Structure 1
Amino acid sequence: ESYGLCASNSIMFNHESPRRGETFVSRKISRAVAAIKHGLQKELFLGNLEAKRDWGYAPEYVEGMWRIVQLGEGDDFVLATGETHSVREFVEAAFAHADLDWKQFVKHDPRYERPAEVDLLLGDASKAKKILRWEPKVRFHELVRIMVDADVDLLSRGTPRERLGRLP
Structure 2
Amino acid sequence: MSAVRAFVTGATGQDGSYLIEQLLEEATEVHVLVRAEESEAGSTHPLPQQVHQHVGDLAVGTELEALVAAIEPTEVYNLGGLSSVALSWQEPALTAQVSGVAVGHLLKATHDLQERTGRSVHFVQASSAEIFGRTSRVPQDETTPLRPLTPYGAAKAYAHHLVGVWRARGVHASSCILYNHESPRRPDAFVTRKITVGAARIARGLQDELAMGNLDARRDWGWAPDYVAAMVLAARDAVARDYVVATGVSHSVRDFVRAAFQAAGVEDWERHVTLDPRFARPSDAPELVGDSTRARKVLGWSPTVPFEDIVARMVRHDLALLDDAQP
Give the superposition deviation at 1:2.
Answer: 7.4
2:220 is matched with which residue? 54
What is the RMSD computed on CA atoms of the aligned residues? 1.5
1:119 is matched with which residue? 286
In the superposition, the TM-score normalised over structure 1's length comes to 0.90
Q: Which has the larger radius of gyration?
A: 2
1:129 is matched with which residue? 296
Change (3 A) 1:109 1:131: same
| Aligned match for 2:211, one of 40, 45, 56 | 45
Percent identity reads: 47
Q: Which has the higher contact order (CA 8 A, sep 6+)?
A: 1
Give the superposition deviation at 1:145.
Answer: 0.6
Give the superposition deviation at 1:3.
Answer: 6.7
Trace 1:6-85 onto structure 2 (pairs within 5 A): 6-85=172-251
Trace 1:140-159 onto structure 2 (pairs within 5 A): 140-159=307-326
SS at match of 2:172: coil
Structure 1: 5+ residue runs without aligned partners?
A: 161-168
Paired residue total: 160
2:230 alignment partner AA: G
SS at match of 1:157: helix
For residues 197 and 238 of structure 2, the distance between their equivalents in structure 1, rounded to whole angstroms, comes to: 40
Give the superposition deviation at 1:159.
Answer: 3.8
Deviations 1:52-76 (A, max 9, x none): 0000000110111111111033111
In the superposition, the TM-score normalised over structure 2's length comes to 0.47
Deviations 1:68-98 (A, max 9, x none): 1110331110100001000000111110111
For residues 326 and 241 of structure 2, the distance between their equivalents in structure 1, rounded to whole angstroms, comes to: 48
1:130 alignment partner AA: K
Structure 2: 5+ residue runs without aligned partners?
A: 1-166
Trace 1:91-106 onto structure 2 (pairs within 5 A): 91-100=257-266, 101-106=268-273
For residues 218 and 236 of structure 2, the distance between their equivalents in structure 1, rounded to whole angstroms, comes to: 32
For residues 96 and 5 of structure 1, the distance between their equivalents in structure 2, rounded to whole angstroms, comes to: 47
